Structure 1
Amino acid sequence: MTTEVRVPTLGESVTEATVATWFVKPGDTVQVDQMLCELETDKVTVEVPAPAAGQLAEIVAAEGETVGVNTLLAQIAAAGGAAAPTPQPKASKPAAPAPQANEAKMTDVMVPTLGESVTEATVATWFKKVGDAVAVDEMLCELETDKVSVEVPSPVAGVLAEIVAAEGATVDAAARLAVIAEGASAGDTPAPAASAPAKAPAAGDAPPASPSARKAMAAAGLSADAVSGTGRGGRVMKEDVARAAAAAPAAAPAPVSIPVAAPPAASSRAPVAAEDAAREERVKMTRLRATIARRLKDAQNTAAMLTTYNEVDMSGVMEIRNSYKDMFEKKHGVKMGFMAFFVKACCHALKEVPEVNAEIDGQDIVYKNYVHMGVAVGTPTGLVVPVVRDADQMGFAAIEKKIAELGARARDGKLSMAEMQGGSFTISNGGVYGSLMSSPILNPPQSGILGMHKIQERPVVVGGQIVIRPMMYLALSYDHRIVDGKGAVTFLVRVKEALEDPRRLLMDL
């Protein structure tokens, strides 16, 4: 009985790949999930694991071949039928099977699922070093993506034999991070020591290159020693050649140019006095912070962003909250806050002004018949926006529970990518930090974001009398390309009316 090894799904828009490297040969014994080969696409490198244990009977697609999705790559003979073919590898290379006789099983630690639209991450911290004993599910390292931090647990118990991706390295969604000698103890260091030198290229050798990388180097007129490899074991990948080719023209004119006309340095700061520089600390920007900076700037550059303001008397909401908060918490097990009132008020207003809940897609406007409410949460690493899905169909208690759960997961860095995608409108509460008034920035591709602020007692005129009321400034930033001023003002007025008279929410008025 044989098991077929086929090309896995490569991505929504990727239909073919190149077989870059085979890590095993016909006749080799393979384990379940052992890496058999590496495929190269236009965007990422994909490792193909063994779907079953047994013996590699045949390689159908050789290195350098272009294959489509679901193409047959190889065939694995069942473990029970491995006895007959065993002499073949012995005849060609007698020493090959010998090292596997008494070795601990080596298990690869792979990058976990990062999210639908996330293709790479940065290795932020290793909690273990080579030679350390690890237990099942013990945290090995932490990865940093554009939006969240992901902890990588150990899939097996044993000894960390090799760290493939060091701290600071950028890895793709299918990369190998480390190797664990399964079942070994901390004193068994010979196995990792033997495997580490095998991975490192010889001092005088040029780094290895995949077939597609060799073609790209030939087309670009680059030599192998001019390209730095970022692939497995220093392997030169196609994207490495593209980066080297792009850098080559910029590097050529540098010696000839006048110093003043040289390309700008990485830092654009003005010179700093030596005594000041000694008291400064320079820290590399995290991927999350860099992504926040890029997205906020993109929002300003892309959308025709405008902000309109209003103020709301919070007396009605505060009265209801003070009257029912104890009963609410006793029944539902969650505190009654202000956020559920704002979510319900926004859902109510979005029904009347649907363009605030829409987005622009090319030449089309996409109107959404649902409300996935993003709630901005400040964390130690930056601002994230978890999404309360179908908030318009939820009650007060369900909204408060979901917001509390997402807020706790956000502060602990445990949010998944799915929990931060698909929002149609966002609420940002700067009031928790004491902000009296601000202009929130849109969360693309959304067309609206509501800014809440500090509740402050102020004198207002009610029925011809000056009275003291708890007032809050509201700010709606919107994309003027899709939302007109009338729609934006109407939306904010409806939110104000619903909050000043919460009974409107119950009667859908």
Structure 2
Amino acid sequence: MAIEVKMPFLGESIQGGVLGKWLKAKGDPVEPGDALGEIETEKITSEIYAEAPGSFIPLVEPGTQVEVGQVVARIEEGPEAARAVSQPGAPSHPPHPPALEPRPAPAEGPGPTEAEREEKEPRPIPSETSRPIRSANSANRGRVLREEEWERLGAAEGETAVRQEAATARPERRKPMSAIRLKIAERLLSAHQNTAHLTTFNEADLTAVKELRERYGERFEKRHGVRLGFMGFFVRAVVEALRKVPQAGAQIDGSDLVYPDRYDIGVAVSTDRGLIVPVLRDAEKKGFAEVERAIRDFAERARSGKLMLPELEGGCFTITNGGVFGSLLSTPILNPPQSAILGMHAIQDRPVAMRGRIEIRPMMYLALTYDHRVIDGREAVSFLVQVKAFLENPGILLLDL
């Protein structure tokens, strides 16, 4: 008896995916709950599990596009499993071609003379516009060539050109884009073409934030089991700025603007399959420890492909941190249907004017990309100024002022 293994249903927005790889080989014994393979969808990588014991028989090659409900493998139970595994495949060597019948030997006798050959192969009559074909090769220069000799010479020279071109060609590798990479490319292009995107910049002095981390970071980690990072401050600053400038969290729905009552903040996480944005639900209700713990959990599960689809959906605003890779300044692209995204950048010690004198301060450039259809320039600048104020005076966040 054979049990069909089908591409599972993963969510309303996912119609199919790409079979990444099989985790079991043909004929391997499997038990219920064993992971058989990985499916890469436009948002997550999910595993296919066995539902019955038996021998595993894959039916689809890795890298194949599959649809929800499509049969991708089967599990053979009982004696049928042994027959399925031992089923002979294609022959390892192709069958011998049939022997060719020998051609009859030419009849004996004297061959044609030179004059007879010339009579059978008359030379073309030159015209006013026709000229004898001469070889460009120095060895054959000045000698009139017959048509077949010219073709042989041209073929040889063409092969030489092909070999020279192959010798000078640069090596390259081709790799199919993953389902996630393809979806990222599609969404980014759509966001760039279908929104009135604009970016405004500011910079924040992170002296106070760094001093808090240096002074209380060790005690924070001992108590909560997680490091006190920068992202907790930025999430709290964004929540407070959204409260003061709600347009930054609004979204277009037909002819309406939808304003969220809760602040679900997307935090971009980089993986080897591309950028993934898990959503931190009810960020306004979470303390620093909860935010840092959730972000660490997101990052670990995103890189191991363990995030669930509901964790990637929704959100009213996104934060992306290019500073961890050394980015000094960039313009992030919107994460539709959201109307704004905040880009963090590298912290650099720079000279700044402070109270009439030059001081060296840890400065970070901030970039807010927004949809101008929803957010006016004044509101965008006001939002970014609020974020800057909260970061430079974190006591406002801690004291809820």
Do they superpose with TM above 0.5? yes
User: Which of 36, 41, 48 does residue 140 from structure 1 map onto?
Assistant: 36
- 1:505 matched to 2:400: no
| Contact 1:115/1:416 (8 A) holds in 2 | no
**Equivalent residue, structure 1, for 2:233:** 341
| Contact 1:116/1:417 (8 A) holds in 2 | no
**Equivalent residue, structure 2, for 1:366:** 258
User: More deviation in 432-441 or 130-139?
Assistant: 130-139
- How far apart, CA to CA, are the structure 1 residues paired with 2:272 and 2:351? 37
- 1:179 matched to 2:71: no
RMSD over equivalenced CA pairs, Å: 2.1
- 1:316 matched to 2:211: no
Letter of the 2:18 counterpart: T
- How far apart, CA to CA, are the structure 1 residues paired with 2:21 and 2:180? 15
- How far apart, CA to CA, are the structure 2 residues paired with 1:306 and 1:496? 19
**Equivalent residue, structure 2, for 1:190:** 83
Letter of the 1:163 counterpart: P
Shift of 1:276: 5.9
Letter of the 1:351 counterpart: R
Shift of 1:122: 1.3
| Contact 1:158/1:184 (8 A) holds in 2 | no
Structure of greater relative contact order (alpha carbons < 8 Å, 6+ residues apart): 2
Give matches, 1:306-455, under 5 Å: 306-455=198-347
Q: 1:373 to 1:277 in 2, by over 3 A?
A: farther
| Contact 2:277/2:312 (8 A) holds in 1 | yes
| Contact 1:460/1:468 (8 A) holds in 2 | yes
The alignment partner of 1:189 has SS state of helix
Identical pairs, percent: 48
| Contact 1:357/1:425 (8 A) holds in 2 | yes
Kindly provide the CA deviation profile for residues 215-261 of structure 1, in whole angstroms up to 9, marking residues without a partner as x.
xxxxxxxxxxxxxxxxxxxxxxxxxxxxxxxxxxxxxxxxxxxxxxx
The alignment partner of 1:435 has SS state of coil
Q: 1:164 to 1:434 in 2, by over 3 A?
A: same
| Contact 2:265/2:318 (8 A) holds in 1 | yes
The alignment partner of 1:291 has SS state of helix
**Equivalent residue, structure 1, for 2:27:** 131
Shift of 1:192: 5.4
Q: 1:182 to 1:456 in 2, by over 3 A?
A: same
Shift of 1:195: 12
Shift of 1:507: 3.6
- Asked which structure has the greater CA Rg, the reply is 2
- How far apart, CA to CA, are the structure 2 residues paired with 1:484 and 1:318? 32
- How far apart, CA to CA, are the structure 2 residues paired with 1:281 and 1:366? 46
Kindly provide the CA deviation profile for residues 447-504 of structure 1, in whole angstroms up to 9, marking residues without a partner as x.
0000000000001111111111100000000000000000000000000000000011
| Contact 1:348/1:508 (8 A) holds in 2 | no
**Equivalent residue, structure 2, for 1:279:** 171
Letter of the 1:127 counterpart: L
Letter of the 1:373 counterpart: I
Letter of the 2:82 counterpart: T
Q: 1:184 to 1:327 in 2, by over 3 A?
A: farther
- How far apart, CA to CA, are the structure 2 residues paired with 1:360 and 1:276? 54
The alignment partner of 2:212 has SS state of helix
Letter of the 2:60 counterpart: A
| Contact 1:159/1:184 (8 A) holds in 2 | no
Kindly provide the CA deviation profile for residues 50-88 of structure 1, in whole angstroms up to 9, marking residues without a partner as x.
xxxxxxxxxxxxxxxxxxxxxxxxxxxxxxxxxxxxxxx
Shift of 1:155: 2.5
| Contact 2:18/2:178 (8 A) holds in 1 | no
What TM-score do the two structures reach when normalised by structure 2?
A: 0.77
Kindly provide the CA deviation profile for residues 360-417 of structure 1, in whole angstroms up to 9, marking residues without a partner as x.
1111111111111100111111111111111111111111110000010011111111
Question: How many equivalent pairs are there?
Answer: 327
| Contact 1:108/1:179 (8 A) holds in 2 | yes
Kindly provide the CA deviation profile for residues 305-350 of structure 1, in whole angstroms up to 9, marking residues without a partner as x.
0000000000011111111111111111111100000000000000
Q: 1:195 to 1:300 in 2, by over 3 A?
A: same
Give matches, 1:23-42, under 5 Å: none
Give matches, 1:247-286, under 5 Å: 274-275=166-167, 277=169, 279-286=171-178
The alignment partner of 1:349 has SS state of helix
